[in-house]
Amino acid sequence: MTKKNDPLLQIHNLCFGFEKNKPILDNVSFSVEKGAFVLLTGPNGSGKSLLLKCIKGLLKPTSGTIVINGEDLTKSSRKRLQAIGLIFQDADSQIVGQTVERDILFGLENLQLPLEEQQKRLEDVSTLLDLKTKFKQRPRTLSGGEKRRLSIAGVLVMEPQVLVLDEPFANLDYPSVLQVIRTLLKLHETGHTIILVSHEAEKILAYTDQTILLEQGKVVADGKAKDLLPMMTAHGVYVPSGVKIEELTWLKP
């Protein structure tokens, strides 16, 4: 049964490895409140992407539990596929439609939703992600930031319970990074639950509600960004030294 104050997502003692006795994820536990904006960070190879794939249901954890909305979905990877909207690192790999509009509608068409419902979701999501003027454009002609917004749109129309983005700043220039930051803040404001996975913590840290720091497959810290700030560089995640959390912004005031 779902209790009112249950966190939306609870991961408990999750372990994963490709070989026996060689755990890559080692007893990972954390929870995420509904509507929270969470940064999952850690150096390259710390296990962030594998953790996402385990949560989503693309990889099978060796042990541990995954509870969503109070329901134990550890053994139900099909339900997790629906509940967790994963936006992959490579935006191009997620683009499937011939036009922006077709691409956003792609997942919905398989759900056999009434046409009005499809149109409503298309309208809402493309307004939120500022893609309405791009409907007839071919996805591969979009800029990096626009492509990223399109890959978010395609996942968001499916109305997942949690939005998970793997390294959304990768390979983007400065203006595109700003577009993605603004998009994330808008999603947060509109009540979406977001897990952002990035080693580029300084770009976004100041805006998060919770930061989880992963190192060699273990959670080494979990809390408020301002409390984690002094220890992050020592654990392989660069943040400029001597700055306050509120000064750490890529957005101009």
Ligand X SMILES: Nc1ncnc2c1ncn2[C@@H]1O[C@H](COP(=O)(O)OP(=O)(O)O)[C@@H](O)[C@H]1O
> Residue 24 binds what, of Mg ion, ligand X, none (CB under 5 to 8 Å, by partner type)?
ligand X
Could you say which of ligand X, Mg ion, none residue 50 binds, taking C-beta under 5 to 8 angstroms by partner kind? ligand X
Among residues 42 and 139, whose Cβ is nearest to Mg ion? 42
CA angle 74, 75, 78 (to 5 degrees): 100
18 binds ligand X (CB under 6 A): yes
Query: With respect to ligand X, which residue has the nearer C-beta, 46 or 176?
Result: 46
Identify which of residues 35 and 43 has a Cβ nearer to Mg ion in the complex: 43
Of the pair 68, 197, the CB lying nearest Mg ion is at 197
Task: Give Cα separations from 130 to 27, 177, 185 (angstroms).
Answer: 40, 15, 14
Task: Tell me which of Mg ion, ligand X, none is bound by residue 238, counting a contact when its beta carbon lies within the kind-specific cut-off of 5 to 8 angstroms.
Answer: none
68 binds ligand X (CB under 6 A): no
* Angle formed at CA 219 by CA 200 and CA 211, multiple of 5 degrees: 45
- Can residue 238 be called a binding residue for ligand X (CB under 6 A)? no
H/E run at residue 187: helix 174-189
Q: Work out how close the CB of 89 gets to ligand X at its nearest, in angstroms, rounded to a whole number.
A: 8
d(Cα 77, Cα 59) in Å, to the nearest integer?
9
- Alpha carbon distance 159, 129 (integer Å): 14
Binder of ligand X out of 30, 37, 38, 46 (CB under 6 A): 46
Q: Which stretch binds ligand X (CB under 6 A): 44-52, 56-64, 74-82, 176-184?
A: 44-52
Interface characters, 20-49, with Mg ion (x: CB under 5 A): ----------------------------xx
Residue 141 C-alpha from the chain's centroid: 24
The answer to whether 39 and 181 are in contact (CB under 8 A) is no
d(CA 57, CA 66): 10
**Interface residues toward Mg ion, by CB under 5 A:** 48-49
